[in-house]
Amino acid sequence: MTDKLYKAPDSVGIVKTQYYTFAEPPDEILLDCGKKLGPITVAYETYGTLSPKKDNAILLLHALSGDAHAAGYHSANDKHPGWWDTMVGPEKAFDTSKYFVICSNFLGGCKGTTGPNCIDTSTGKEYGVTFPMVTIADMVKVQKKLLDYLGIDSLLSIAGGSMGGMQALQWVIDYPDMVRSAMVIASTSRLSPQAIAFDEVARNAIVNDPNWKNGEYYGNSVPHHGLAIARMIGHITYLSDESMHQKFGRRLQSKDTYCYDFNSEFAVESYLHYQGDKFVDRFDANSYLYLTKAMDYFDLSSKFGSLNKAFEHIKSKMLVISFSSDWLFPPYQSKEIVKALMNNDKDVSYMEIFSSYGHDAFLLETDHLTQLVKSFLNHLIEV
């Protein structure tokens, strides 16, 4: 079955993750926290062909648990395509017959880019919690280094959902002359106190797992229980009340009557446990700590004095998209971004998509997003 999928005419097919290493001592990069970091390795994938003028490059920015593998398959036997495979490929939203699409794993991740699970060359051991705190701006700085290496000094567009949208906003602020357009999807200019609270509970679940051992669990038992709970908490925020009703209701998992014990009986309970256990197999607990903290720190209003001031020097054409049932990054937060852009007379379009999927809609509402993205990109080419 997979063989047919990767050979489908709208698939990018089999792809390979590539790696770029830079910032070798003494040329480390200076992070927002004041510490230096290097060497840094970046994992990335590309799809399509860069035009002779190098004017068709699009940078995709992934969310918290994503990686560089945005589309296609890693082998003929790979059962799982990239995280945005429905959007990237020939004739898809990010049409690889027209555009050169790049996606990299961000700094602090655990999918090939330098993060807490990588070896600190100064000690020969994994960084663990000695890894410096990183910010969204630090991630963008590393992505810029990758593009320099690829010989790309201008981006037709950048696009990101959720945490990827935060990076997109940081990009257009930090490199206004480099980014022609940006798509900010189901995102925010700063986390709400509620979102920070969920992150804190998730982090506490990890650090209170006996196997966490102050981050020094590599080579031993991982903090499975804590990371699984953190993911369960996250999944609750990704869904909506309506989607939970549609998907689970109050359905019992296997019996028609209650068991009157503390085992998981409801279908929604079983789903959360499954998602938590599956996540542990592919993600690093320390990375989860660092990445949620990076999101908590992200606050453009605080950094620049106001959101209006943050957007003063943006030159990109902007598309902001929200989803009606997203209560993690609700539509009002997208509207705040749009208002601040309009206050600065920036070229911005906004769409709120009616959806019952909650925050996950940015990965699931493919038809709506394809229509919007294609139209947005086509207009750029025509202008």
State residue 95's pLDDT score.
98
Tokens of 1: 């079955």
Helix (H, G, I), strand (E, B) or coil at 348: strand
CATH of 192-297, one of 3.50.7.10, 1.10.1740.110, 1.10.1740.10, 1.10.260.40: 1.10.1740.110
CA distance 47 to 60: 11
State residue 383's pLDDT score.
57
CA distance 96 to 13: 11
CA distance 131 to 32: 13
Question: Which residue in 162, 189, 243, 322 is the catalytic one?
Answer: 162
The whole-number average pLDDT for the span 275-284 is: 96
The winner for highest mean pLDDT among 43-47, 257-261, 263-267, 268-272 is 43-47
Confidence of residue 3 (pLDDT cuts 50, 70, 90): confident
In this predicted structure, which of 192-196, 244-248, 368-372 has the lowest mean pLDDT?
244-248
State residue 131's pLDDT score.
98
Give 80-139 pLDDT, tens digit per residue. 999 999 999 999 999 999 999 999 999 999 999 999 999 999 999 999 999 999 999 999
CA distance 375 to 370: 8
State residue 380's pLDDT score.
86
Which residue carries 């037709």 as its tokens? 156
In this structure, are residues 211 and 190 in contact, taking their beta carbons and an 8 Å threshold? no
User: Is residue 381 scored above 90 in pLDDT?
Assistant: no
Which DSSP state fits 94?
Answer: B
Per the annotation, does 277 bind a ligand?
no
Q: Are strands 119-120 and 157-161 parallel, antiparallel or unpaired?
A: unpaired
User: Is residue 25 scored above 90 in pLDDT?
Assistant: yes
Write out the H or E segment, with its range, that includes residue 5. helix 2-6
Per the annotation, does 251 bind a ligand?
no
The whole-number average pLDDT for the span 300-324 is: 98
The whole-number average pLDDT for the span 232-247 is: 96
Specify burial of residue 50 (Cβ count, 10 A radius: 0-12, 13-18, 19+).
middle
Question: Which residue in 326, 334, 355, 356 is the catalytic one?
Answer: 326
State residue 322's pLDDT score.
98
User: Is residue 1 scored above 80 in pLDDT?
Assistant: no
Active site residue 162: yes
Ordered DSSP codes for 113-154: SS-TTSEETTTTEE-GGGSPP--HHHHHHHHHHHHHHHT---
State residue 253's pLDDT score.
85
CA distance 180 to 137: 19
Give 139-180 pLDDT, tens digit per residue. 999 999 999 999 999 999 999 999 999 999 999 999 999 999
Tokens of 299: 């606050």
Q: Is the pTM of this model over 0.85?
A: yes
What residues have CB less than 8 Å from 192, skipping those under 6 apart? Answer: 333
State residue 4's pLDDT score.
76
The whole-number average pLDDT for the span 62-79 is: 96
Q: Is the peptide bond before 26 cis (omega within 30 degrees of 0)?
A: yes
State residue 264's pLDDT score.
87
Specify burial of residue 331 (Cβ count, 10 A radius: 0-12, 13-18, 19+).
buried
Instruction: Determine the angle formed by the axes of helices 224-238 and 267-280, rounding to 10 degrees.
Output: 120
In the sheet that holds 100-104, the strands lie side by side as: 18-22, 40-47, 100-104, 57-61, 157-161, 181-185, 317-323, 348-353
State residue 256's pLDDT score.
79
- Does the domain at residues 2-191+300-382 carry the CATH identifier 1.10.490.10? no
Confidence of residue 257 (pLDDT cuts 50, 70, 90): confident
CB atoms closer than 10 angstroms to residue 48? 22
Give 288-306 pLDDT, tens digit per residue. 999 999 999 999 999 999 9
Active site residue 359: yes
Domain segments of the chain as ranges: 2-191+300-382, 192-297
